[in-house]
Amino acid sequence: MRLGLTAIVLATALAGGAAAAPPAARGASNDGLGAYRTGRYRDLFAEQLGRSPAESRARIDAAFRQLFHGDGQEQRVYFETGANQNGPLAYVTDWANNDARTEGMSYGMMIAVQLGHKREFDALWNWAKTYMLVTDPADPSVGYFAWSMNTDGTPRSTSAAPDGEEYFVMALYFAGRRWGNGQGIYDYRAEADRILRGMRHHPLRTGTPPFRIHPGDAPFVEPATPWPSLNNRAAEAEAVKGGMPWPSRRPAGAPRAVTVGPMVDEAHAMIRFVPETALTGTDASYHLPAFYELWARWGPIEDRAFWARAAEVSRDLFARVTGPETGLAPDRSNFDLTPATDWSGGPSQFGYDSWRTVSNWSVDYGWWGKDAREPMLSGRVQSFLYGQGIHGFADRYTLDGKPLSRRHSTGMVAAAAVGGLAATPGNVSKAFLQELWDTPVPSGEQRYFDGMLYLMSMMHCAGAFRIIDGPAA
């Protein structure tokens, strides 16, 4: 298998993959055979579709303009909203759910740093630090970022979701290496180090809600009915039509004590689904071994061995939790890698979070080239979905391939196309790239998650989503 991996790297070089000069002194055996070591990033659109780098960059720039600066009602998800002492403020909104999430804020920052848009990066980071960072010491999530907020900066939650923290860390490290570290909240490396230390070393804290994000805020009390949004109105109509209760879940009665700890499970070296200790397990789509390898080199020295181990654990998780015929990953798994129970009481299946898993391991393979199972997994997912009909496959499945929806989603198409970074080139991989290339930039009600995945996937497939290890050319 090592011979096959070397051949792929050499084939990429011969195919004219986009090159970036690798930093000096790389080449240790634990650096793998991917782009970190070689400095070469595959441009799949050029390799398999014959598109020029200029054509791909034009597509990427157009998508950025639409999603960040297009029409406010139908196109963009980025909105500037005044300024404070640190400069402009901006949020990325999940339009269909009418909120701002750490997921989207951190994705927006990653897109901005990769494409060189410092104003947008700083404005998003300023909004996240100003409104989302929990600073009230009575909230056991203090030091984390509240995962969901109203766009006016008031909370929808006072707890955290690790995927947002992970992307915050990586985007901040890249910002420091691209633009240099500034002062205060714009000392990007110091901010990334603080978040990363907290993810592993957050002390166990217990409190009883209601909590506040900031001292002096009004206590946050979850409303008895779901937040008003396009998605919740659609879900209510569907429930009523099917004779199901609405809302499907209601806030608990008497408040119960909540204990919050680290975002990682130390014994298993895995990212947790949530840092609340009452809910155990992990989410495969939160596993980002491509990032962990960099944290093992750039992060706080005392934690580097942990993140190197976490990268290996994540690669093993991908191989073990995915469907053996489909390559589909569940939304959640137990730490022993058995399926977790989902909200309905059954085993967790392939859902919206899961779209990202094929992209996660494929980018890891492109950057590091350390695990020969990843090409097999990407080929398995692409082959299964291709067999379902590339223009209309469902966006949710059981792990053995039974559809759980009738919706076809751009974000899932985009993430599956990134599988080409690992899958063996051929008609199936090419079909996904062509499908992504031919798909317009998402607009309308569902443009948030679809749009963020679409733009990042375009960047990955064009070789334009890179390890930033110094000022960009």
H/E stretch holding 87: strand 87-94
In the block, which residue shows the tokens 């939160």? Answer: 286
Residue 159 in contact with residue 278, Cβ under 8 Å? no
By the 8 A CB rule, do 79 and 91 touch? yes
Parallel, antiparallel or unpaired: strands 99-101 and 18-19? unpaired
Report the DSSP beta bridge partners of residue 145.
133
CB 340 within 8 A of CB 281: yes
How many other CB atoms sit within 10 Å of the CB of residue 378?
Answer: 26
Query: Rounded to whole angstroms, how far apart are CA atoms 248 and 241?
Result: 14
Catalytic-residue membership of 103: yes
Is 165 a catalytic site residue? Answer: no
Q: Extract the tokens encoding 461.
A: 């497939």
From the list 98, 136, 297, the residue with the least C-alpha distance to 218 is 136
Q: State the number of CA atoms in the 13 A half-sphere of 75 facing the CB.
A: 13
Q: Which of 103, 166, 283, 331 is catalytic?
A: 103
Tell me the C-alpha distance between 459 and 467, whole Å.
12
Q: Are 322 and 378 in contact (CB under 8 A)?
A: no
| Residue 127, both tokens | 């909004």
Query: Cα(460)–Cα(417) distance, rounded to whole angstroms?
Result: 9
Backbone angles phi, psi at 108, to 5 degrees: -60, -40
Kindly state the helix (H) or strand (E) to which residue 149 belongs, with its residue range: strand 148-149
Handedness of CA 171, 175, 176, 181 (dihedral sign): negative
Q: Exactly one of 353, 374, 450, 469 is catalytic; which is it?
A: 353
99-101 and 87-94 strand pairing: antiparallel
Give the catalytic positions in this structure. Answer: 103, 353
